[in-house]
Amino acid sequence: MPFIKAKDGTDIFYKDWGSGQPIVFSHGWPLTADAWDPQLKVVADNGFRAIAHDRRGGGRSGQTWDGNNLDTYADDLDALIEALDLRDVILVGHSTGGGEVARYIGRHGTERVAKAVLLSAIPPLMLKTDANPEGLPIDVFDQIRAGVETDRSQFYQDLSANFYGANRDGSTVSQGTRDEFWLWSMQVGIKGAYDCVKAFSETDLTEDLKRIDVPTLIVHGDDDQIVPIVAAGEKSSKIVKDATFKVYPGAPHGLSMVPKFAGRFNADLLEFARS
C-alpha cells in the first residue's frame, strides 16, 4: 500500500487513482479515506487524478499519541502534496476534513491550490461562545467524548442515524450504509478519535477562511444534525472572498454518501472542478 512520511515520521496512507488535474479529498471524523470512494471513482472516471489519505490516528495511517489536532492534520496534508509534487490542486474537505483544508491554506497558502470545496464543513467554529452563539454547547462534545471512551462501538452505531438522517421520517438510508459508517469508525484508534473531538469543536478557523484566495464551493445540507448550517456553511460563505454557497434542502451531514443526495453533489463537484 502507498504511504508517505509526515514531518514527524508518521506513516500516512493514501489512495491515488486516475490521472489529470489532482483532486485531493480530506475525510470527516471518525472515518477513513474509504468514505470518499464513490467520489474518487467519479472524478477519476472523468479525467481527474483522485487522491485521498487516511488521517493520522486511524485507518491505515499511523496511530500517534500526539499530534491529533488541526495544525498537524494540515501539515500532514502538506506533506502528502509535497511528496507527490502536486500542483493546481483542487482540495475537497468534508466535515473535519473541511477544517483540515482551511487550516492547510491558513498555514501553507495556495501556491499549489487551484480551488477548494468545503462540504458540511466545521469552519469557522463549532463551539458555542459569546461571539459564536449559533454554535453547539460544550456539553454536546463532552457527550461525544464520553461515547468514544465508554462504548464507542455502540456509540458509532447510534451516531450513524444522525450522520445520515436515518432518524428522519421517510428516510431511505440503508442498513448497509450505517454498517459502513460503523466499520470505518472502528478502524480509528480511540486516542485519535477522542483527541479529534477537541480539534473539530474548539478550533477557530475564521482567520484561515480569510486567507482562502481561490474559488471555493461551499455545500451544506439544511438538515445537518452534526454540523449546524447556521454556525458553519452560512458563516463560512460570508467570510471566504470568492465563495459559491449551495444549500441542499433536507440533506444530512453525510450527504455525499447518501444516494438521494450524492448524485447532485457529484455533479456539482465535477461542474466546479471543470469551471
Question: Tens digit of pLDDT for each residue in 177-186?
Answer: 999 999 999 9
Choice among 95, 120, 160, 236 that is catalytic: 95
Element (H, E) at 105: helix 96-108
pLDDT at 147: 98
Q: What is the pLDDT of residues 71-104, one digit of tens each?
A: 999 999 999 999 999 999 999 999 999 999 999 9
**pLDDT, mean of residues 59-67:** 97
Distances (CA, A) of 182 to 32, 121, 144, 159, 227: 11, 20, 15, 9, 19
Element (H, E) at 26: strand 21-26
Q: What is the pLDDT of residues 122-171, one digit of tens each?
A: 999 999 999 999 999 999 999 999 999 999 999 999 999 999 999 999 99
Q: What is the pLDDT of residues 7-36, one digit of tens each?
A: 999 999 999 999 999 999 999 999 999 999
Per-chain mean pLDDT for the chain? 98
Choice among 75, 208, 253, 256 that is catalytic: 253
Give catalytic status of residue 253 as yes or no. yes
**Which residues, in sequence order, are CB contacts of 273 under 8 Å at separation 6+?**
21, 23, 43, 48, 90, 115
Say how many domains are in the chain.
1
> Where in the sequence is the domain holding 113, given as residue range(s)?
3-274
pLDDT of 118 strictly over 80:
yes
Element (H, E) at 236: helix 233-239
Q: For residue 226, what is the domain's CATH number?
A: 3.40.50.1820
Q: What is the pLDDT of residues 199-237, one digit of tens each?
A: 999 999 999 999 999 999 999 999 999 999 999 999 999
pLDDT of 1 strictly over 90:
no
Give catalytic status of residue 224 as yes or no. yes
Choice among 224, 236, 237, 256 that is catalytic: 224
Q: Tell whether pTM > 0.85.
A: yes
d(CA 211, CA 220): 21
Residues in the chain, overall count: 275
**pLDDT, mean of residues 59-80:** 98
Give catalytic status of residue 95 as yes or no. yes
pLDDT at 194: 98
